[in-house]
A and B are shown apart, each in its own frame.
Chain A
Amino acid sequence: KAGVTQTPRYLIKTRGQQVTLSCSPISGHRSVSWYQQTPGQGLQFLFEYFSETQRNKGNFPGRFSGRQFSNSRSEMNVSTLELGDSALYLCASTLTGRVFFGQGTRLTVV
């Protein structure tokens, strides 16, 4: 069974630009969550989608948004990038309490 797939693995963007990250969950998993990992703040929950609906949201500004498609694939968008948005963004897919993570997308904002 394929795991959680995140694309791209690495990304370099300039301040003020926007970026879209993609996540394909494990087949059959309908819940997809996003996390931001930074050295200073650790792992922080961004949002969770279930059946195309945002079910839970963390404490991030509105520049961070997401969506989920009917095939459970999810995208995360960050607009007006800031230097502090540089981080590893992790996607997780979940089925009945079992949470599996992808390899992450390393975003660097310069």
Chain B
Amino acid sequence: AQSVTQLDSQVPVFEEAPVELRCNYSSSVSVYLFWYVQYPNQGLQLLLKYLSGSTLVKGINGFEAEFNKSQTSFHLRKPSVHISDTAEYFCAVSLSLTQGGSEKLVFGKGTKLTVNP
């Protein structure tokens, strides 16, 4: 079974500082990897995804993530954060469709990013 660990439940940073939100996953087969953002009282918005190909994935709002198969990690980074990036971020995995997987996502517990002025 797949599992996802987000190592930090809360990350406070100052505006314009860089940030890295960590995500490790466990799976014995190929997976798809995702990062979602959730603003208060909202649903989940897809930031970026890794399906195959280049291990460096660029997403919306200046975020990027790097897939590291040997370390089973998919950390999210942004070089300079804004106040508006304050939100909760979720890492998720699903089985690659080539492994016969369906569209079930397994989520980490989330990381609350707070950007302070």
Q: Residues of A at under 8 Å CB distance from B?
A: 4, 6, 31, 33, 35, 42-45, 48, 50, 55-56, 58, 90, 92, 94, 96-104, 106
B102 touches A100 (CB 8 A): no
**A44 and chain B: residue at smallest CB distance:** B107
Distance (whole angstroms) from the CB of B70 to the closest CB of chain A: 23
Name, among B44, B97, B106, the residue most crowded by chain A CB atoms within 10 Å (CB to CB): B44
Compute how far the CA of A96 lies from the CA of B102 in the bound complex, rounded to whole angstroms.
10
Name, among A48, A50, A99, A100, the residue most crowded by chain B CB atoms within 10 Å (CB to CB): A99
List 30 A-B residue pairs with CB atoms under 8 Å apart, sorted by A's residue number: A4-B43, A6-B43, A33-B105, A35-B107, A42-B107, A42-B109, A42-B110, A43-B90, A43-B105, A43-B110, A44-B107, A50-B102, A50-B103, A56-B102, A90-B44, A92-B44, A97-B32, A97-B94, A97-B97, A97-B103, A99-B34, A99-B46, A99-B103, A99-B105, A100-B46, A101-B43, A101-B45, A103-B42, A104-B42, A106-B41
Determine which of B41, B102, B107 lies in contact with A43 in the assembled complex, contact meaning CB atoms within 8 Å. Answer: B107
Determine which of B36, B104, B109 lies in contact with A101 in the assembled complex, contact meaning CB atoms within 8 Å. Answer: B36
**B106 and chain A: residue at smallest CB distance:** A45
- The interface residues of chain B lying within 8 Å CB-to-CB of A33 are 103-105
Sort A-B residue pairs by CB-CB distance and give the 3 closest, nearest first: A43-B107, A101-B44, A94-B103
Compute how far the CA of A100 lies from the CA of B109 in the bound complex, rounded to whole angstroms.
19
- Please report whether the interface of chain A is mostly helix, strand, loop or mixed according to DSSP: strand
B104 touches A45 (CB 8 A): yes
Determine which of A31, A43, A97 lies in contact with B51 in the assembled complex, contact meaning CB atoms within 8 Å. Answer: A97
Compute how far the CA of A31 lies from the CA of B103 in the bound complex, rounded to whole angstroms.
7
Compute how far the CA of A102 lies from the CA of B109 in the bound complex, rounded to whole angstroms.
19
B43 touches A103 (CB 8 A): yes
Name, among B92, B102, B110, the residue most crowded by chain A CB atoms within 10 Å (CB to CB): B102
Distance (whole angstroms) from the CB of A96 to the closest CB of chain B: 7
